[in-house]
Structures are given as structure tokens and as C-alpha cells.
Amino acid sequence: MIPFAIAASLSLTAPELPPLPPIKRDPQVTYVDRAGAVLGVRGGRYGPPVDIAKLPAHVPAAFVAIEDRRFYEHTGFDPVGMARALVANAEQGRAAQGASTITQQLARNLYLSPDQTMERKARELMYAVQLERTYSKKQILGLYLSRVYFGSGAYGLEAASRRYFNKPAARLTLREAATLAGVLKSPTAYNPIEQPKRAAQRADLVLAVMVETGAISPAARTKAMSQPLKLAPSAAGGASQYFIDWLDGERRRLVGQPKQDVVVETTLDAGLETAAASALRSTVARYQAQAVSQGALVAVDGLGRVRAMVGGLDYAAAPYNRAVSAKRQAGSSWKPFVYLTALEQGSTPDTTVVDEPVVFGTWSPENYGDAYAGTLTLEQAVAQSVNTVAVRLADEVGRPNVAATAKRLGIVSAVNTDPAMALGTSLVSPLEMAQAYGAFANGGKRVSAYGIERIRTNGGTVLYQRKATSQAQVIANPALSDLNRMLRNAVVAGTGARARVPGYDLAGKTGTTSDYKDAWFAGYTGGLAAVVWMGNDNGAPMKRVTGGAAPAEAWRSFMTVALKRGPAQAIPAGPPAPLPPPAPILDPTLQTVAAPAAPTPLAPVAN
């Protein structure tokens, strides 16, 4: 601590101030959800300069109270504060209190290094005195709040206000202002995202000091702390950052590197994103004892708009996007492509098959539980996810045809055609599966997932606008309606029963790999398909976790919210089935009907 006499001497010889260093930053890219709520910001780190005159009185008062309560009385340094700090530090035998004023902190941020030396401290004090001679108190406070670091990548009050609360600083409540003022002591220890309890305690301390200084009344403090702190959706967990990462490359491709701040209007629904993140976290927590550590969820509407995308449980800890980049075996969630191919070749849900052991070369598929049910309909085989039936059916209809069906519906990864392909041994991402199931949800039209609707400057100039495009009809009737019937039954009376939400038209399919390394639930309602994957990043097997358990439960939790947020729709029937063949011609001689030739039925899977 600099002795008062030395401080006074230095203040008399304060040097001329260097020019204010400009706030330099790259153009800022702000991503907003479909309703305009901020999801996240990339690029420039600083917010715009703070104008104290436009802030509510309680905002600057919060910072002054906790950082420098004699700010409006001193001339750059505070001898009273220095004395108080000296006494406190001597009593505790350590540097328990600091005595730097807001003006000194500003001087340090503007002109000096953080080195803890007597020379640097002396220069800091001299610059502080000169700042006080050059600028008004409001200007100094505005400069300070424009540049100080608030954690989570936010420099300046405006950036922090939008980062944490999705609002301009001019609209900060008393509780929010106290929270941000409390962050400055330690942006890590008092970050409201990472340390909500400690941040709340620190905010209450700020309010208590504001009461001491007369800035607010005790009643105002009590009322402020009784109001819940509402963090912005992007702040509360950061799940949408996976989505932004996915879009960032696409944004660069569409408009390049912007020369000014831009806003990217996306398809994401922040409410659904929050529901998806919550569903994954809570479900994985329940199944941790069964060696489940990660999950992903993607929801796509019938036009391909991504409404929710969660690529993992904790973006800050692991930003790898499992919803897009992770390729895992799909298990039985792949089987609808097998059954759709069979339906398109003439089978129906009532076509009978036999569940019995079958051998392909040296490989023989096994059912879950190693049991065989004998004669079944295709609808029953789907509901119970019978492996032997799916494998033989794929062989009957042609595995290359099954692969072609999957590609037609939106699978872009390579698809193998060995006998086990019917059981989902190809590696795919949750996003691909959501695209493919999207065609089941929208009446049979091809879905191509996308996330950017428009890119504009802050001034409103449109740099990119997505154009409406027609969707190809990739599934026709009766195959589409038959498949929907079968997948509805899989939820009502099959392995997907835990995904059921009473009162809604839902369909879907579970998926579990034979070694329990991957578990899926892929399902849909009218106009919305959602896919859940769970497993471990290192490929370690789970402890008998199936797609009908944890993934189906997470899917149900998410869909319960999704179905209430928008008007619930029945799964659409799709295009009309082809007209029946023309009426037969009567033979006037025999007076009999010459029946048209019957189509060749699919050979039953038996013996």
C-alpha cells in the first residue's frame, strides 16, 4: 500500500493522459431463436459504450456501492479507503481488502499491465488523478462499465446484460444490477450461470451495502431478493451453443465474414431447447448407475426446421456435438426402413411371418431375451422389435433396396448391405435419423434439416433470406399409412410404451445395439420428429440400458412440453393411395367376370 504522503506527492505530478485506447472488436454475430430471443454471440467481445444517463439510477448505484462507495467524493484515490484496508489487512495478516477506486481500476485497465509492483501502483494512482481532472464522474463510470470483464466472454455492461439476461442494460432490475455488480469481484466465483448460490449471496451483499449507503431502502432490498433471477435461455446451461456451432460454418458459407454486426435469425425454439436439455440431463442422472453418461436430442419439424438440438449434457465441459458429429449404430430404430421397403413391395401390416432361428452363413441373429414367438404379423414384429423377422425380411426385399429407402428418406452416411444391416449396424447421426423420421411425420415428404431463416445487419439490411422450396414426395400410400399404423402400435403396445403421452397421436421405434453401447428412441407426431440417443463417448457399454428405457423416457419428457407449446396435430395420412384397377369387363357369352391378375405376394418368411 502506498503511504499517503507519497500518494499526495505523486498526485501533484500526475502526467498527461495518453489518448484513450479504442475498444477494438471484430464484428459481432448474434444468433436469435425463432421468437427473437438471443441464443448466443460470436465474434466481438465488447458491448457498445455505456451511457450512464440512460441507465436506471439503481444500476450505477450498485457498482459504486460495492466497488467504491466514496466514488463521488474522492479525486481519484481514497485515503479513507486506504486506511480502512490497511487496518483490516493488518488485523487479518493478509490482503483481505483492496483500496483501489473505480478510477484506479479504470486507469489500470486502460493503460497498465496487471503486474503487482510498487511502480505500477504509483503510475496507476497518477493516471487515476489525471482521469479525474479530465473527465466527469459520469464519464469515468461509463468508461469503466464499458470495459470491465463480467465473465462468460462478456466485456462491458451491455454485453453482460445481454449475455446473462437477454436485455439491454437500461432495463436491468435492481436484483439483476446487484448480480452483475457482484460478479466483478470474481467473474468465476460469482458467475450466476456456474455459481448461482454464491452469485445470489454476493448480490444480497451488494444490496446490503446499497442500503448502508442510502441508495435503496431495506424494503427494496427484501423485495429484490424475493424475486427470482431469470437468466437468458442461452445462459442457463448453454445447450443452444451446440446448435450455434452447427450453424456457424453455414453462416460463413452464406455471407462470409461480416464487416459489421449481424443478426442470424434461426429456426430454434428456445423453450423446446430448454425442455430438451432438461429431459436429457434429468434422465441421464437417473441412469448414471447403469453407466449412462451422455445423450443427444434433435427435433425437426415437417419442413426441416430444427426446433431443438442438444449435442450433450454440458457444452462448457464438452462442446463436441453428438447430435450432428457422432456416428453411432442405430440399432432397431433402423427397422422402419426395412419394413417400409417391404410395404412398398406389397406387404401389409397383417402379412404373417415366422419368428424362428435363422442363419446367414456363420451369423445368426438373436432376439432380445433369446426367445422366439412363432407366427406373427408384421405389425406385431415391429411392436416387439423382433430381430429374426427384420433380418429375413431385409433379405427377401433386398438389402440394397433397404439402403436405397434409407437414403431416399434422408440418411446421408454410408449404409452397409451385409445381413446385419437390418438391425441398424450402419453408423448414423441423430440429425440424420431425425431427417428420415421427419418424412413419416409430414405425410411422406423429404425433409432436409436446416437452422438459418435469415441473416441481416443490425440496421435491417437483409444479407440472406431462405427461399421456400418444394419437398419431394418420397413415400406414397398405402405404404405410408401402413407404416404409421405399425409404428403407432410400437408406442401403444410395444417396446416404445414408455414414450407414450396419453391423448396424443404418437409413433416411433426403439433402438438398442447388441452390446448396449447405444440406445435410441426415434419418434414423431404430426409435423414434428424427435430423436434421442444415449451412450458413452468412449464406446463403453451401458448396463442393459435399452432404447425403450432411458431414451424413450427422455423423449416423452421432451414431447410432453413440445405437444403443449404448439397446436397438437395428428400424424397426416399423406397422399391418396393409387386408384384401384379398372372394373372388369363382362364376357357377354359366359356372363362371368374376368378377374384381373392378382399381384404376386411377398414370399412369407418361413422355413
**452: enclosing H helix or E strand:** strand 452-457
Please state the rounded mean pLDDT for residues 249-271: 92
Q: Which residue has the cell 467524493?
A: 73
CATH number of 214's domain: 1.10.3810.10
CA distance 186 to 215: 23
- Say which range, 307-321, 429-443, 481-495, has the weakest mean pLDDT: 307-321
Q: Is residue 535 helix, strand or coil?
A: strand
- In terms of Cβ atoms closer than 10 Å to its own Cβ (0-12, 13-18, 19+), residue 361 is exposed
378 and 489 in one domain? yes
Strands of 289-426 (E only): list them.
294-301, 306-310, 328-329, 352-355, 374-377
Residue 236 lies in a domain: no
- Tell which phi-psi region holds residue 59, choosing left (phi > 0), alpha (psi between -120 and 50) or beta: alpha
Residue 285 lies in a domain: yes
In the predicted model, what is the mean pLDDT of the chain? 88
561 and 470 in one domain? yes
Per annotation, catalytic residue among 11, 146, 332, 426: 332
216 and 362 in one domain? no
Residue 576 lies in a domain: no
96 and 205 in one domain? yes
CATH number of 366's domain: 3.40.710.10
446 and 373 in one domain? yes
Please state the rounded mean pLDDT for residues 87-116: 70
- Copy the grid coordinates of residue 170: 437500461
Q: Which residue has the cell 395420412?
A: 573
Q: Which residue has the cell 439476461?
A: 165
Phi–psi pair at 489, nearest 5 degrees: -65, -30
291 and 206 in one domain? no
Strands of 292-373 (E only): list them.
294-301, 306-310, 328-329, 352-355
Q: At residue 95, does pLDDT exceed 80? A: no
Spatial strand order of the sheet with 518-525 comes to 306-310, 294-301, 528-535, 518-525, 507-512
The per-residue pLDDT for 77 is: 79
304 and 157 in one domain? no
DSSP 497: G
Q: Which of 459-472 are b and which e, b meaning 16 or more Cβ less than 10 Å from the residue's Cβ? A: eeeebbeeeeeebe
Could you tell me what percentage of the chain is helix, strand and coil, using 3-state DSSP and rounding each to the nearest 5? 40, 15, 45
Residue 249 lies in a domain: no
- Say which range, 7-21, 67-81, 377-391, has the weakest mean pLDDT: 7-21
- Copy the grid coordinates of residue 70: 466514496
Point out the domain boundary residue: 209, 226, 243: 226
Comparing C-alpha atoms, which of 340, 231, 322 is closest to residue 276? 322
Model confidence at 389, in pLDDT bands (50, 70, 90)?
very high
Please state the rounded mean pLDDT for residues 51-58: 96
Model confidence at 514, in pLDDT bands (50, 70, 90)?
confident
What Cα–Cα distance (Å) separates residue 452 from each residue in 3, 257, 409, 529? 60, 16, 22, 19
Q: Is 67 a catalytic residue?
A: yes
Range of the domain at 332: 273-565
Per annotation, catalytic residue among 67, 265, 344, 553: 67
The per-residue pLDDT for 578 is: 80
292 and 212 in one domain? no
Q: What percent of the chain has pLDDT over 90?
A: 68
Please state the rounded mean pLDDT for residues 321-333: 97
103 and 209 in one domain? yes
Cβ–Cβ < 8 Å for 536, 517: yes
Q: Is 146 a catalytic residue?
A: no
Residue 445 lies in a domain: yes
What Cα–Cα distance (Å) separates residue 532 from each residue in 37, 226, 311, 319, 554? 25, 37, 10, 18, 7
308 and 189 in one domain? no
CA distance 165 to 171: 10
Q: At residue 25, does pLDDT exceed 70? A: no
The per-residue pLDDT for 468 is: 87
Please state the rounded mean pLDDT for residues 23-51: 82
Point out the domain boundary residue: 226, 256, 288: 226
DSSP 74: S
302 and 181 in one domain? no
Model confidence at 23, in pLDDT bands (50, 70, 90)?
confident
State how many domains the chain has: 2
471 and 368 in one domain? yes
Q: At residue 92, does pLDDT exceed 60? A: no
Q: At residue 155, does pLDDT exceed 90? A: no
The per-residue pLDDT for 568 is: 84
Residue 594 lies in a domain: no
Residue 471 lies in a domain: yes
Q: Is residue 163 helix, strand or coil?
A: helix
The per-residue pLDDT for 604 is: 31
Point out the domain boundary residue: 205, 226, 247: 226
Residue 589 lies in a domain: no
